[in-house]
């Protein structure tokens, strides 16, 4: 299975392509889409779309994973990221590739074990896991690989090396009460 991961951005967007075969994850391609800040937003978006469709045509990914929008104090920044996400998702949808979104915290937790991991920690884990020979120049590229690797962990029997806490669930109130009698408050009738 081939997975394309995207770290969206309008000036620098990262992409990473991995292949999962059984329990083996290997790197196929990684890079960034760099835009000149002097060009208009529509031209930046066009370039992002063009490069992503080019990557799709080269590797024919089975799955497409992208980082969700985060909330920023700067509304303009959040809006621009949203536009980059939109054209990226459109590229995947136009090729009928299933698109899955992951929060930055979820991605970091899956690949480093810490939801608040630094970009350096994510980069180190991607270099180690995928046996990258050289340190990528931009964190956006290793962030995109982390998105793809997170997706590989989530959709398969392949497990993250970092155990996730399991939530205890109860099928219904009766079974919850039976298994947690100390949490039940008894009221006496007067």
Q: Which sequence spans correspond to the domains of the chain?
A: 2-183
CB 67 within 8 A of CB 150: no
Q: Which of 7, 29, 36, 62 is catalytic?
A: 7
Catalytic, 140? Answer yes
Q: What angle do CA 141, 147, 150 make, to 5 degrees?
A: 140
CATH number of this structure's domain 2-183, picked from the four choices 3.10.20.30, 3.40.50.740, 3.40.640.10, 3.30.420.10 = 3.30.420.10
Q: Give this prediction's pTM.
A: 0.81
**Angle separating helix axes 75-94 and 41-59, nearest 10 degrees:** 30
Per-residue pLDDT of the chain (190 residues; tens, 9 = 90+): 999 999 999 999 999 999 998 888 999 999 999 999 999 999 999 999 999 999 999 999 999 999 997 666 678 888 899 999 999 999 999 999 999 999 999 999 999 999 999 999 999 999 999 999 899 999 999 999 999 999 999 986 555 555 555 545 545 667 766 776 776 665 555 5
Where are the alpha helices (H) located in the chain, listed in sequence order? 41-59, 75-94, 104-112, 119-129, 139-155, 173-179
Residue 78: count other Cβ atoms within 10 Å of its Cβ.
13
Catalytic, 96? Answer no
| Alpha-carbon torsion (155, 156, 157, 159), positive or negative | negative
Catalytic, 67? Answer yes
Closest listed residue to residue 67, CA positions, set 80, 52, 55, 85: 85
Q: Which of 57, 106, 140, 172 is catalytic?
A: 140
């Amino acid at each position: 299975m081939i997975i394309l991961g995207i770290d969206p951005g309008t000036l620098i967007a990262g992409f990473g392509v991995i292949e999962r075969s059984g329990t083996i994850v290997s790197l196929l391609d990684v890079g960034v889409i760099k835009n000149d800040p002097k060009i208009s937003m529509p031209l930046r978006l066009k370039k992002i779309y063009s490069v992503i469709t080019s990557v799709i045509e080269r590797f024919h990914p089975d799955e497409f994973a992208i980082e969700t929008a985060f909330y920023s104090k700067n509304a303009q920044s959040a809006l621009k990221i949203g536009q980059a996400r939109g054209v990226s998702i459109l590229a995947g949808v136009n090729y009928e590739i299933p698109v899955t979104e992951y929060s930055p915290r979820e991605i970091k937790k899956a690949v480093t074990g810490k939801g608040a991991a630094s970009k350096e920690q994510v980069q180190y884990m991607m270099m180690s896991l995928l046996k990258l020979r050289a340190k990528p120049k931009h964190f956006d590229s290793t962030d995109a690989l982390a998105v793809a690797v997170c997706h590989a962990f989530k959709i398969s029997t392949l497990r993250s090396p970092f155990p996730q806490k399991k939530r205890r669930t109860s099928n219904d109130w009766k079974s919850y009460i039976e298994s947690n009698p100390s949490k039940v408050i008894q009221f006496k009738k007067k």
